[in-house]
Amino acid sequence: MIPAELPLFELQGVTKEFGVQPALSGLSARIRPGTIGLLGPNGAGKTTLIRLLMGLIPPSGGAVRVFGYDPSRNPLEVRERVGYMPEHDCLIPSMTGVGFVAFMGRLSGLPKETAIGRAHDVLQFVGIHEERYRKIGEYSVGMRQRVKLAQAIVHDPPLCFLDEPTAGLDPAGRAEMLHLLQVLSQLPHRSLVVSTHLLPDVEGLCDEILLLNAGRLLASGALAPLLAGHSAETVIRFKGDAERFTERLVAKGLLPRREGSTLRLTLPAEGERAVFEAAYESGTQVRSLGRSVGTVEELFLSLVNAPLQEAPP
């Protein structure tokens, strides 16, 4: 068990080079236990960072510590305390759900009986019931994702890496998976690092973020202060004639931007009244109105600052 004051993992000036192009350069961060969102465009270095933290590759320079261990020197000690849920398919179709998860538990060092018991526990938790006795080859996409999660937590690791945990899931499956992760994240002494492209999921789940771009750390730390320091927009969801509504808002000196069934704009203090007036005058319904403190997506886009029309390397 890890006391809360000790950092989960630490990076000091970490660099990693494959050939000429550095995959990571000058990364320094001290991350407390909790639920962390690992974010960044494709090619930003998230995968490399996870590999480094799990002791699968050594850094080219700098120091890495996970639970106080150096992963390149003590990879097994680190991996005993780490669970990994990959994005890609990785299950053995010929094994049963419970057989597979128990086997993975044994590979993490659990004695045989304990492994079987815990396999049943975690499969119950992720919502796989009688199907656990059937072969994984017969499972649906949703069930496979859940087995992936189960094998990542069967040995009760204090740190779990989750790579796109909601990938391929339909809306019901997404909601369930996010709920499971919520429950997991509330447990004491259990930390999650979630790598995902779906930023609103991060908002609901993570206390902290690590934002990478082109191998560098753009932002790290608690989410709330990062968002609060960010300029806030108001989002209006409406129903009715978009043109007339926009026209009335413009007449009141506001500059709305339309996105589907929403409008985004910056409101002055007590500007909500103007919104309702514009709605009344144009016969529009206001369905929701919120001066958000700024979403993770806005933070992300402004920090990454990609000019439109440019693809990642």
Which contacts qualify for 300-304: CB closer than 8 Å, 24 or more apart?
300/39, 300/199, 300/211, 302/230, 303/211, 303/213, 303/218, 303/219, 304/40, 304/41, 304/211, 304/213, 304/218
Q: Per CB under 8 A, which of residues 138..197 are in contact with other proteins?
A: 140-142, 151, 153, 156, 161, 163, 167-176, 180, 183-184, 187, 197
Instruction: Give the whole-angstrom CA distance, residue 164 versus residue 289.
Output: 30
Q: Per CB under 8 A, which of residues 108..137 are in contact with other proteins?
A: 108-112, 114, 118, 121-122, 124-127
- The pattern of x and - marking residues 29 through 48 that bind other proteins according to CB under 8 A reads ----------xxxxx---x-
- The pattern of x and - marking residues 63 through 92 that bind other proteins according to CB under 8 A reads ------------xxxxxx-x-x-xxxxxxx
Q: Whole-number minimum distance, CB 14 to other proteins, in Å?
A: 16
DSSP 266: P
Comparing CB distances to other proteins, the nearer of 127 and 221 is: 127
The answer to whether residue 251 forms part of the interface with other proteins (CB under 8 A) is: no
Instruction: Give the whole-angstrom CA distance, residue 184 versus residue 283.
Output: 46
Q: Per CB under 8 A, which of residues 263..302 are in contact with other proteins?
A: 270, 272-273, 276-277, 279-280, 284-291, 297, 300-301
Q: Please answer whether residues 274 and 255 qualify as being in contact, where contact means their C-beta atoms are separated by less than 8 angstroms.
A: no
Instruction: Give the whole-angstrom CA distance, residue 137 versus residue 93.
Output: 4
Q: Whole-number minimum distance, CB 243 to other proteins, in Å?
A: 12
Paired strand residues for 217: 212
Q: Which two tokens stand for residue 230?
A: 């960010």
The answer to whether residue 231 forms part of the interface with other proteins (CB under 8 A) is: no
Binding range to other proteins, per CB under 8 A, among 4-12, 64-72, 106-114, 216-224 = 106-114
